[in-house]
Structure 1
Amino acid sequence: MKGAGLRVLHLGKFYPPASGGMEAHVRTLARAQASLGAQVEVLCANHSVDGTGTSHEFHGRSPTREEWDGPVRVVRLGRLASVARMDVMPSLPFVLRRALARGVDVVHLHVPNPSMVLALDAVPRLPAVVVTHQSDIIRQKVAGALFRPFEWMLYSRAARLLATSDAYVRGSSLLSTFKSKVRVLPLGIELDAYLHPSAEAREARARWTAEAAGGPLWLMVGRLVYYKGLFTALEALVHAPGRLVIVGEGPLAEEGRARARALGIEDRVTWAGYLSPEALAGAYRAATALWFPSNARSEAYGLSQVEALASGLPVLNTAVPDSGVAWVSLHERTGLTVPVGDARALAAAARRLVEEPGLRERLSRGAQERARAEFAHDVMASRSLELYAEALGRQPVAEERSDASVRHVAGGR
């Protein structure tokens, strides 16, 4: 098997059932690598005090838990506190040293993840380090500037830096500094649940379709944080027909409800909170389009876009500068792209999707074709193992071949 004998230690921030794109990616990649023969372990913070729930928010001290997710060993480290989005985990240095002592070929860090960056900086000798750089620190400018030397220290030691798209590399000063180490590895998912929905998902689809009451059903999926563009979506609904279903939880939920009331659309918004995978798959199948109006480079990619594409659901996204958002779902091929923060343009795109004959059907076909070609989890895992081999010097790769491979993975032909 391709990964036979390879020992991989992933350092994530959290792990499902904690919600979020990075969390889902770590799980998908770890399990897919294990299926290819690698020995895989994950270290992360324990998001939950009692072992339940999906929220990242700190609600009190959590214990350390060790468990198996199929073939993947998962160690959830107890949190004592969370300060400026940095999780305080007293056992991290000891558990990390213990994991490394068991034998590790590749340490794969997923960032932003300040606690793990500091922990690795403190280890004098490390195996090959690979970093998936999902996002720069955008909004927390002071914290970002103070933390930059620690990032720089680790990135200079890393063997490879993985970006999720070429577009994000161009806009990241940190990645540009270490450009010779950068490779592009788009995030993939297990497509089957979306390509071939289960009986439970089909039942959920029927329920969501009934809730739409014959009109368009717009879907928005993700944590309710500043860069998701929640208020843009609510303002767009004023100028578009149908119902908006908002899937997710987060700090802007109450403000969002107040904004919906002020805009007079409260009765056309469903706050669904966290949905089970089956209910979400059903929602993707019932919806007219996914609204993805992100407004900052903190949104580097958007895995919910990939889930929508696999479901045959067109995406209405935004042209976030130097982000991969508009690369994941392509304008006029798998959805429509509008300017950042432009609620009227988002509403116009939604109306066009409803009113223009054949448009939604054409975009739906293109969506599933792109999902199959670019975002399958096994393709991602196989490519990640190739990049590990390159980093370890086990597979000499000429620069010309490497560049061509990166372009192919990123979809540029």
Structure 2
Amino acid sequence: MNAPSAGAGLRVLHLGKFYPPASGGMEAHVQTLARAQAALGAQVEVLCANHAADGAGTSHEFQGRSPTCETWDGPVRVTRLGRLASVARMDAMPDLPRMLGRALSRGVDIVHLHTPNPTWVLALDVVRRLPPVFITHHSDVIRQRVAGALFKPFEALLYARARRVLATSEAYVSGSPLLRAFRGKVRALPLGLDLAPYLHPCAAAREAEAHWRAQAAGAPLWLMVGRLVYYKGLFTALQALRRVPGRLVVVGQGPLEAEARRRARALGVADRVTWAGYLPPDSLVGALHAATALWFCGNARSEAYGLSQVEAMASGLPVLNTAIPHSGVAWVSLHEQTGLTVPVGDAEALAAAARRLLEEPGLAQRLGREARERAVAEFRHDVMAWRSLSLYSEALGRPAPVMAPDVALLRLTGSV
């Protein structure tokens, strides 16, 4: 939808926690936004921590020291800073001052920080002169109350210096004390994805779809996607599985897997759960197309958005999500439009919603169709990139980037 020169000449430095192949919603967002901005003509660079000693793998659970290395992700320069240790989500990265200084010396118009990210917040606090700072606020610090309280003054200092603070949805702002404190500079920038792999699966994804359908053997296939951490609501899903037919495929890794496996055995559903771990992209697309619904059972505001909902919606898959107060989750997939929304932590309500999809004629098909339409209209990566460049321009007092005819949308929907 955008002119190729929409970001021409703009130099953007993104500061992220990690970068793919490290898994995670924030990591995927930084990559998607960086690539999409570069496609619109911006010069884009990313600084982040190196998630693994060999730079490979998907887990960013700390596994010892890692080196500093520089790579290119297409047109995006990615510098992964080596870590000596990680304590209380703070990464010790000795090369950070030197590499940040080197990146800034190349010329930067916008520094775009993605939070929560205490290491980068403290690093920027001590830099006296910075280009205009934009902050995408992905989530409040919810569970780490003591560390969060100690860190709060440093966070507030940087947010006060920022030119704009970007919330992933308007729905999240009212429940965030930090965002409310800086309401005058808060703008919404909904997260988006490159939807083409989900809208038009490749041959490998279709093969994976056939595999997952065969595993389901005609029974409903329920899907969960995400790190196995407390706020994903995995235990609620296991309880709900007792009340519905079919198989639950859990895609992801994390510290709660062992406990979740014990819970599944205790609940008598272990033989109907597939622990898939991390899935390659084509296999995940296949699972999304084979599934009956995505179960998105978040139980805390740490779950602020849910990009896996967008993946499911673009695949034409209904979403069963939760009404987390002051979170964007229920805004991404809308109740009775693109899925069904149930109370937080209510396994019976989740099971009842799943049974509705099986028992009400045409419901799953209608929700899936409208989910796909909403994903294409609101959550495309090029839409997100153009919005971000517009926000940069507005804050800097520059003319807004020019919008071209919506050719990208026509291609995605198969009209051209």
TM-score with structure 1 setting the length: 0.95
Equivalent runs, 1:236-251 vs 2, <5 Å: 236-251=240-255
Residues 257-299 of structure 1: per-residue CA shift (max 9 Å, x gap): 1110111110000000000000000000000000000000000
Partner of residue 402, structure 1 = none
Equivalent runs, 1:143-154 vs 2, <5 Å: 143-154=147-158
> 2-side partners of 1:136 and 1:340: how far apart?
18
Contiguous gaps of at least 5 residues in structure 2: 402-416
Partner of residue 385, structure 1 = 389
Partner of residue 410, structure 1 = none
Q: For 1:162, what is the secondary structure of its paired residue?
A: strand
Q: CA deviation at 1:103?
A: 0.6
AA aligned to 1:101 is S
Partner of residue 35, structure 2 = 31
RMSD of aligned residue pairs (Cα, Å): 0.9
* Count, aligned residues: 397
Matched, 1:82 2:90: no
Equivalent runs, 1:291-302 vs 2, <5 Å: 291-302=295-306
Residues 149-187 of structure 1: per-residue CA shift (max 9 Å, x gap): 011000000000000111100111101111110000100
Partner of residue 71, structure 1 = 75
AA aligned to 2:196 is D
Identity of aligned residues (%): 77
CA contact (8 A) 2:320 2:340 kept: yes
CA contact (8 A) 2:296 2:321 kept: yes
Equivalent runs, 1:130-141 vs 2, <5 Å: 130-141=134-145
CA contact (8 A) 2:13 2:112 kept: yes
Matched, 1:259 2:258: no
Partner of residue 317, structure 1 = 321
> 1-side partners of 2:94 and 2:234: how far apart?
36
> 2-side partners of 1:236 and 1:396: how far apart?
48
AA aligned to 1:118 is L
Matched, 1:226 2:256: no
AA aligned to 1:163 is A
Q: CA deviation at 1:147?
A: 0.4
> 2-side partners of 1:102 and 1:372: how far apart?
36
Partner of residue 239, structure 2 = 235
AA aligned to 1:11 is L
> 1-side partners of 2:46 and 2:400: how far apart?
28
Partner of residue 408, structure 1 = none
Q: CA deviation at 1:210?
A: 0.5
Counterpart among 131, 142, 145 of residue 146 in structure 2: 142
Matched, 1:354 2:358: yes
Partner of residue 94, structure 1 = 98
Partner of residue 404, structure 1 = none
> 2-side partners of 1:396 and 1:75: how far apart?
30
Partner of residue 117, structure 1 = 121
CA contact (8 A) 2:390 2:400 kept: no
Q: CA deviation at 1:90?
A: 1.1
Residues 201-235 of structure 1: per-residue CA shift (max 9 Å, x gap): 00000000001111000000000000000100011
> 1-side partners of 2:400 and 2:375: how far apart?
30
> 2-side partners of 1:396 and 1:220: how far apart?
39
AA aligned to 1:87 is D
> 2-side partners of 1:247 and 1:152: how far apart?
36
> 1-side partners of 2:226 and 2:260: how far apart?
14
> 2-side partners of 1:248 and 1:83: how far apart?
23
Counterpart among 339, 344, 350 of residue 343 in structure 2: 339
> 1-side partners of 2:40 and 2:257: how far apart?
40
Q: For 1:171, what is the secondary structure of its paired residue?
A: coil
Which structure 1 residue ranges, 4+ long, deviate > 6 Å from structure 2? none
> 2-side partners of 1:283 and 1:362: how far apart?
20
Matched, 1:270 2:282: no
Partner of residue 405, structure 2 = none
> 2-side partners of 1:148 and 1:385: how far apart?
29
> 1-side partners of 2:216 and 2:298: how far apart?
24
Counterpart among 283, 288, 301 of residue 279 in structure 1: 283
> 1-side partners of 2:196 and 2:57: how far apart?
25
> 1-side partners of 2:256 and 2:32: how far apart?
28
Q: CA deviation at 1:395?
A: 3.5
Q: CA deviation at 1:102?
A: 1.1
Counterpart among 41, 44, 53 of residue 45 in structure 2: 41
Q: CA deviation at 1:41?
A: 0.2
Counterpart among 59, 62, 67 of residue 63 in structure 2: 59
Q: CA deviation at 1:341?
A: 0.2
> 2-side partners of 1:112 and 1:395: how far apart?
31
Q: CA deviation at 1:65?
A: 1.0
> 2-side partners of 1:7 and 1:106: how far apart?
6
> 1-side partners of 2:89 and 2:238: how far apart?
27
Partner of residue 215, structure 1 = 219
Counterpart among 5, 22, 27 of residue 26 in structure 2: 22
Counterpart among 181, 187, 192 of residue 183 in structure 1: 187
> 2-side partners of 1:279 and 1:7: how far apart?
35
> 2-side partners of 1:27 and 1:42: how far apart?
9
> 2-side partners of 1:352 and 1:36: how far apart?
43
Residues 47-85 of structure 1: per-residue CA shift (max 9 Å, x gap): 011122111111100001100000000000001111001
CA contact (8 A) 2:233 2:299 kept: yes
CA contact (8 A) 2:15 2:113 kept: yes
Q: For 1:176, what is the secondary structure of its paired residue?
A: helix
Q: CA deviation at 1:396?
A: 8.3
AA aligned to 1:286 is A
> Compared with structure 1, are the counterparts of its residues 286 and 97 closer, same or farther at alpha carbon in structure 2 (3 Å cutoff)?
same
Residues 324-372 of structure 1: per-residue CA shift (max 9 Å, x gap): 0000000000000000000011011001111111100100110001001
